[in-house]
Amino acid sequence: MSVAPATAPLASTDRMDVLDVMRGVAVLGILLVNIDSFIGHGFLPPDRQSALPGVRFDATASFLTEFLVQGKFYCLFSFLFGVGFSVFVQRAAAKGHDAVRLFKRRLTGLLVIGLVHSILIWYGDILATYAVIGFGLIPFLRRGDRAVLRAAMLWLAAPIAFYLVLLGIASLVPAPPPSAEGDALPPVMAAAVQGFAGGGYRDVVQGNVVFTIANVVRRLVLMFFPRVFGMFLLGLYAGRLQLFAHLDANAPFLRKVCFAGFAVGLPLAFVGAALGGSGSPRPPSLAGLLEMVVESIATPLLALGYGAAICLVFRRYRGALAALAPAGRMALTNYLLQSVAGVVVFYGIGFDLYGKVSLIVALAGCVAFFALQMVASRLWLTVAAFGPAEWLWRVFTYRRRFPLFVPSK
């Protein structure tokens, strides 16, 4: 692995700008995946879905989202979380702070934000998961670079090993008889969906609790957590090398990552989308094992390919990508605002569009909404030093108040 030595200072403008651009792209990608849940897609009976404007394009839109977006931007965001951990620790140590103590406090703050988000706003939260898994990064501060990279590869491959174990157990246990209800939701989850569609805020909170618990189980079954931690470790490794502080020197390496991501990851992601079911837990089977192998290779590889491509484009067309940087700098705030907007627009407590919008129309709305977030983020950062959520998180971490707004000149 040929990467330029890490000799540049941490305050490199190139590194910070390109990381913010990558975060901005990741936030958009995450919204494109999350919108499926906000609109209630998949919870509707076929007869209701067929009457929605634009619904004839939904099958294609769903496939393309599964192929190009699903899982890839969570992986990219996880990678960036690991990079951020490395930068945070290096900066804290350079200033003489107790980096581990500050990072633990930072994770605790993120956990609080995530739980509030998951229970009081929307159940699909990823922040609490990141906070809990993030504690696993701390022991790797004492490990060498090769050990970190080796551990990352092992954790990324772990879902395949875990699935093989489940498959072996399933072969020894008689399969349960098929349910007469087929794929129908359990009553408690069906009631939660009804609460989202037409209930009051109390119903929404109760539904969030139900689906939050269900999401933990679902992510366990889908081997989501090992992949997140593997990407954390890869990000830590890249951050130690200060890969993004030396884009020109590391361009050959980035081209190799980009080529691997698109030449290998893209075809495998297509196969995974054709197999279908990356987001749906199913009993262990040989077909499921194939899906797990394909996804465990394609999703991280394509995510890294996306990240490398952004870096290479950024080198040549920085001005064209600069508009994404403010949205990425306020990634936490924008992520939370997307959930607030999704609940207000689609749930019964808001504009009551739950189950009344096709996926293709909702995806177009996502792009438009993110464009507004880009503009709003840029305007906000002309008068403020941080996004609102980022400011609260920073105050909690350092236990002191920072000025939010920039003094007028």
Note the residue count of the chain. 409
The pTM score is 0.92
95: buried, middle or exposed (CB in 10 Å: 19+, 13-18, 0-12)? exposed
Q: d(Cα 407, Cα 203) in Å, to the nearest integer?
A: 43
Q: What is the DSSP letter of 70?
A: T
pLDDT tens readout for residues 68-109 = 999 999 999 999 999 999 999 988 888 888 999 999 999 999
| pLDDT score, position 83 | 96
pLDDT at 211 over 90: yes
Instruction: Identify the sign of the CA torsion 325, 329, 331, 334.
Output: negative
| pLDDT score, position 282 | 74
Helix axes 286-316, 145-172, angle to 10 degrees: 150
| pLDDT score, position 13 | 40
3-state secondary structure of 405: strand
| pLDDT score, position 277 | 60
Average of per-residue pLDDT across 239-246: 90
170 falls in which pLDDT band (50, 70, 90)? confident
pLDDT tens readout for residues 277-293 = 656 667 788 888 999 99
Contact predicate 141/89, CB 8 Å:
yes
pLDDT at 117 over 60: yes
| pLDDT score, position 14 | 38
Contact predicate 113/393, CB 8 Å:
yes
What's CA 57's distance to the chain center, in Å?
25
Q: d(Cα 406, Cα 189) in Å, to the nearest integer?
A: 46
